[in-house]
Amino acid sequence: MTRYSALALAREGLRGHRGWRPAWRKPDPKPAYDAIIIGGGGHGLATAYYLARNHGVRRVAVLEKGWIGGGNTGRNTTVIRSNYFYPESVALYDLALRLYEGLSKELNYNVMLSQRGMLIAAHTPMQMEICARIANAMMLNGVDGSLMGPQEARARLPLLNDAPDARYQCLGGVWQGRAGIARHDAVAWGYARAASALGVDIIEGITVTGICTTDGRITGVETDRGPIACDRLGIAAAGATPGLVAPLGIRLPVHDYALQAFVSEPVKPMLDTVLLYLGTGTYVSQSDKGELVFGGGLDRVPTHGQRGNLPMQETIVSGLLEMFPAFGQLKLLRQWAGVVDVVPDSSPILGPAGPEGLFLNCGWGTGGFKAIPAGGWLLAHMLATGDHHDISRPFDLARFAEGRLIDEAAGSGIAH
Amino acid sequence: MQIFPCPFCGPRDETEFHFAAEAGKHRPEPAPEVTDSAWADYLYGADAPKGRAQEVWVHLTCGEFLLLTRDTVTREVLDVAALPGSREAGT
């Protein structure tokens, strides 16, 4: 693997950039691996990388139906944060945030992490009470959270709608300074490159058609390019997970919905933080290229189709214009949707399921991107050791039968 | 805007409808004999089918529940019927 550096860039610049090599190998599948991961998004690639790096398991394959990072990893709005309510959630998402903070160095790949802070804005004294509760919970759980007042919020967001007749006045809200955004494709490509260099086979354009078991143990997978043997199988396939495990008799508490995202034409810098309005449900940040990247709630119609519907587009765009009337002059550049796997308590499912050797990493719903390093770290731990990590244990599938939900929908106000 | 059919009111905007559950779920009885896992499956379990799906929806404006048969990939509505036990459609 060629090391990326300013020196390498200068050298290639002088040679007309003819020396760059593909960032990861394109191997054919081998007949057997120690571990197979279904799903070549951020979580699957991170799992493969940490399996090789943390646990020395290098006979690993990542099987991706489409192309690397072409699912939700390439479709999200790139926000990274750990402003959750319950200790279990904060431990999980802050592990991800801490790993993100060192990721560019770790992978020798610039993921363009920009910790520009995030404000969840409140509009009523009652909402400010809830924000204080979340900020206090974050501090008790050992992460940086604070309650921001109206003056500071307005100073940070000068274009905010402060008309006397504005539907939602900004009274401040929960602030997390370490939150921010990153380049989503770079996260997938960086993990793929680093995993490939450690010997992981990343196989794109391969469809898993079945999971093979013998006497209640995983023995491999059937694919459209033939069977591949393994005794440990990780699934990190988001909305495709229920369909993959259904033939094993496993029913998951997962509903699939479309989540939309939007990008405006690029403009000069005028928004240097991430903002979520509780009143409109719309959130927005400005990318390094100058585009506004924004989104909102789920489409209300369960679907596997990767496109959004018009009523939610109207809700999200009108919400943005309520927050920033000046944005009404901008044109939309692109709009798209991803299929997200939504769980009743808005917390992920991490852990074993069904036959011995099978581990799931799914149910991230609308918040999978921010959790990629942690999801990979924990699934790698489970595949390598056969047992939970302390951080993943509360997120076991058994929590639904035990009535031990980690209800972030109620805890931190996730809108689904 | 997609138009959904209500067996009682006719074609209406999709925003008037709310997804309730996948069809075919039956509350396990009798309660003292229901295991935790069977109850959890009844409360939370889903098939999330890709393609043809039968779902219970409610038309919020008339308050009636209905059975929609949809394609979950194309979003096409294939069939609609009143739920058994509803008042008769059109009356």
As given in the structure block, the two tokens for residue A396 are 């076991």
Q: What is the pLDDT of residue A415?
A: 54
CB contact under 8 A, B19 and A300: yes
CB contact under 8 A, A253 and B55: no
- CB of A257 within 8 A of CB of A342? yes
Span B24-40, average pLDDT:
93
Whether the pLDDT of residue B87 is over 80: the answer is no
Whether the pLDDT of residue A366 is over 80: the answer is yes
Measure CB to CB from residue A304 to each of B2, B14, B50 and give the nearest one.
B50
Span A69-77, average pLDDT:
93
* Cα–Cα dist A247/A211, whole Å: 8
Q: What is the pLDDT of residue A1?
A: 75
* Cα–Cα dist A34/A209, whole Å: 19
Interface predicted TM-score (ipTM): 0.91
As given in the structure block, the two tokens for residue A237 are 């396939």
Span A36-54, average pLDDT:
98
Residues A193-224: tens digit of each pLDDT: 999 999 999 999 999 999 999 999 999 999 99
CB contact under 8 A, A251 and B41: yes
Q: What is the pLDDT of residue B1?
A: 83
Name the average pLDDT for chain A: 95
Find which of A255, A256, A257, A301 to mutate to test the B interface (most B CBs within 10 Å of its CB).
Answer: A301
Q: What is the pLDDT of residue B90?
A: 47
CB contact under 8 A, B19 and A402: no
Please report the number of interchain residue pairs, chain A to chain B, with beta-carbon separation below 8 angstroms: 73
* Cα–Cα dist B71/A185, whole Å: 31
The pTM score is 0.94
Span A83-92, average pLDDT:
94
How would you classify the pairing of strands A118-122 and A274-277?
Answer: parallel
- CB of A278 within 8 A of CB of A174? no
Sort out which chain A residues have CB atoms less than 8 A from B69's CB and list them: none
Measure CB to CB from residue B44 to each of A253, A300, A301 and give the nearest one.
A253
Whether the pLDDT of residue A187 is over 50: the answer is yes
At the top level of CATH, the class of B3-82 is alpha beta
Sort out which chain A residues have CB atoms less than 8 A from B1's CB and list them: 309-311
Question: Would you call A306 helix, strand, or coil by DSSP?
Answer: coil
- List the 14-43 stretch of B: residues with Cβ below 8 A of A: 14-15, 18-19, 36-37, 39-41, 43
Q: What is the pLDDT of residue B91?
A: 43
Q: What is the pLDDT of residue A30?
A: 97
Sort out which chain B residues have CB atoms less than 8 A from A254's CB and list them: 46, 48
* Cα–Cα dist A329/A34, whole Å: 55
Enumerate residues 6+ apart whose C-beta is below 8 A from B89: B7, B8, B82
CA atoms within 13 Å, Cβ hemisphere of A122: 23
3-state helix, strand, coil in chain B (%, to 5): 15, 40, 45
pLDDT band at B84 (very low <50, low <70, confident <90, very high): confident
CB contact under 8 A, A305 and B73: yes
CB contact under 8 A, A251 and B47: yes
Q: Crossing angle for the helix pair A184-197 and A42-55, nearest 10 degrees?
A: 40
